[in-house]
Amino acid sequence: MIGADDGSDAGIDYLASSAVHYNPTDLTSWVDSMLGEVSADPLSRAPPQMGGDSWTDQLYAPPLPPPAAAAARQLEEDSGIRLVHLLMSCGDAVHRGDAALAGSLMDEMRLILSRVNTSFGIGKVAGYFLDALCRRLYSPAAAAVGGGGGAASPAENEILYHHFYEACPYLKFAHFTANQAILEAFEGHDRVHVVDFSLMHGLQWPALIQALALRPGGPPFLRITGIGPPSHDGRDHLREIGLRLADLARSVHVKFAFRGVAATRLDDVKPWMLQVVAGEALAVNSVLQLHRLVGDPAGGEALPPPAAIDSVLGWVAGLKPKIVTVVEQEADHNKPDFLERFTEALFYYSTMFDSLEGGKSASAGGGGAAQQTAAVAEVYLQRELCNVVCCEGLARVERHEPLTQWRNRLGRAGLRAVHLGSNAFKQARMLLTLFSGAGYCVEEIDGCLTLGWHSRPLISASAWTATGVGNSPAHSGGVGGASLN
């Protein structure tokens, strides 16, 4: 824990004087290094030693940059070091309720941000976190009403979601991986039903409909039940999405039915609303939704009903689904201690923004449209991190937890893990070839898949089935079966 008066200025000065090896454009490793060094004892570090062959390395060193460029880079690096220190100290002051100290630290951060580039790297991330801390400190009531990032209508949220979908592979990974598991679970069944916990434009389902149309032996009869927010503009958006999906299904000769269920919160949905029919293979799909039902592990006032997540998972297991697909952020943002949560969020979202920046650089030749999509996608992430930092109680809905905790929770609900298999892994690897950012990586962990940036997992996908429900042959060995290719 770092406070503003902990005597660590000497350490910061040391870091500032020896930071020329940092590259502020490589934000992920840069912030990781900075947070580690800010917390370390500066007296325990010896100055760097010259290797025996260092003089030969110097013979082939690139020419030094012009003095002005070198000075500008040094300013960026020194400012970045100071910003990380100030963010941690400010988070600690907010945590302790020291508004005066927090305010003075915020003023210093604003001054530094006025002198550095805030369009990328640590300057951008520091600006987002500074805004979130200001909202928490000075406008807690407004932050609670707006979820931390200002009020947004369901239509605005869907626009942000769509741009995030287009700008980076995270949601595509979620959809492709879940669809592959669902497709394999539906093998051999002629009546199948998908319950989608968040329809969001229906972006996930065209690929599944087309894959079912190509299934050997002919496609099954497909029902999709899509859950989404109530409409506030007089239009039935769920029905409109259903009609578009029906048109696609008709064009590829898949028998299809759609039902929309409007609900403000997922725990408002009751099993009878889904009209599950005996004899159909059921899939329940949740992409970045279940964490919104999780309460505060420390308890407290004005929290989500403690049994909300357990209640929903309980009735999901009671429906005896053939497959349950769960995609969640691979993060730990539900800690009761604010400073721990803030530190974890700084790590996580620094990496997220770094990956978006990498995608923007790779797609720079694609023109202004790609750059604009990435910019709107950043607003999606900014609202998310603002909710993590600003809000408490019912207003804090971004309660992300790591895969290990989801394993325990889903297991307690009466669900057992299903290995996603090699086809899902291949689909995920193939997806990454569509993105030029070289830092994306897919890993398999005990039958689950994670997608990350430079070895840090950022999103996890897992598959489950109700205890007592058998698996199709495609799942038993994790190899074979249908593919979305």
Query: DSSP string spanning 345-371?
Result: HHHHHHHHHHHHHHHHHHTGGG-HHHH
Structure tokens at 165: 């979908």
Residue 7: per-residue pLDDT: 43
CA 466, CA 471: separation in Å to the nearest integer? Answer: 10
pLDDT at 25 over 70: no
**Measured between alpha carbons, how far is residue 223 from residues 110, 261, 278 in Å?**
53, 13, 13
Residues 6+ apart with CB under 8 A from 273: 261
* Pairing mode of beta strands 256-262, 448-453: unpaired
pLDDT tens digits along 225-251: 999 999 887 788 999 999 999 999 999
CA 49, CA 21: separation in Å to the nearest integer? Answer: 14
Least Cα distance to 219 among 195, 243, 251 occurs for 251
pLDDT tens digits along 156-186: 888 899 999 999 999 999 999 999 999 999 9
pLDDT tens digits along 351-401: 999 998 887 665 555 556 777 888 899 999 999 999 999 998 889 999 999
CA 184, CA 268: separation in Å to the nearest integer? Answer: 30
Instruction: Calculate Rg over the CA atoms of the chain.
Output: 24
Least Cα distance to 274 among 263, 259, 296, 294 occurs for 259
CA 254, CA 364: separation in Å to the nearest integer? Answer: 39
For the residues 300-314, what does the mean pLDDT come to?
A: 72
Which residue reads 């006025």 in tokens? 114
Give the domain ranges of the chain: 9-41+68-150+338-366+381-389, 169-331+399-476
pLDDT at 304 over 70: no
Question: Higher model confidence: residue 357 or residue 406?
Answer: 406
Q: Grade residue 11 by pLDDT with cuts at 50, 70 and 90.
A: very low
pLDDT at 47 over 70: no
* Pairing mode of beta strands 191-196, 415-418: unpaired
Region of 481 (left: φ > 0; alpha: ψ -120 to 50; beta: rest) is left
pLDDT tens digits along 238-287: 999 999 999 999 999 999 999 999 999 999 999 999 999 999 999 999 99
Q: At what angle are helices 121-138 and 99-113 packed, to 10 degrees?
A: 150
Structure tokens at 438: 């070289």
Computed over every residue of the chain, the mean pLDDT equals 82
Q: Grade residue 209 by pLDDT with cuts at 50, 70 and 90.
A: very high
Report whether 362 contacts 435 (CB < 8 A).
yes
Structure tokens at 46: 């010896």
Which residue reads 């600003």 in tokens? 390
Query: DSSP string spanning 74-122?
Result: HHHHHHHHHHHHHHHHHHHHHHHT-HHHHHHHHHHHHHHHTTS--SSHH
Residues 6+ apart with CB under 8 A from 100: none
Report whether 281 contacts 185 (CB < 8 A).
yes
Distance of CA 274 to the CA centre of its chain: 28
Residue 136: per-residue pLDDT: 94
Q: Grade residue 8 by pLDDT with cuts at 50, 70 and 90.
A: very low
Residue 58: per-residue pLDDT: 44
| Residue 281 host element (H or E) | strand 281-287
pLDDT at 426 over 90: no
| Helix %, strand %, coil % of the chain (to 5) | 55, 15, 35
pLDDT at 23 over 70: no
pLDDT at 350 over 60: yes
Least confident of 120-124, 348-352, 377-381: 120-124
How large a percentage of the chain has pLDDT more than 90? 58
At the top level of CATH, the class of 169-331+399-476 is: alpha beta
Residues 6+ apart with CB under 8 A from 366: none
Q: Grade residue 120 by pLDDT with cuts at 50, 70 and 90.
A: confident
Least confident of 62-66, 191-195, 389-393: 62-66
Query: Exposed, middle or buried: residue 42 (CB in 10 Å: 0-12, 13-18, 19+)?
Result: middle
Residue 252: per-residue pLDDT: 97
CA 424, CA 377: separation in Å to the nearest integer? Answer: 26
CA 376, CA 167: separation in Å to the nearest integer? Answer: 9
CB neighbours of residue 76 within 10 Å: 20
Query: Exposed, middle or buried: residue 177 (CB in 10 Å: 0-12, 13-18, 19+)?
Result: buried
Distance of CA 171 to the CA centre of its chain: 9
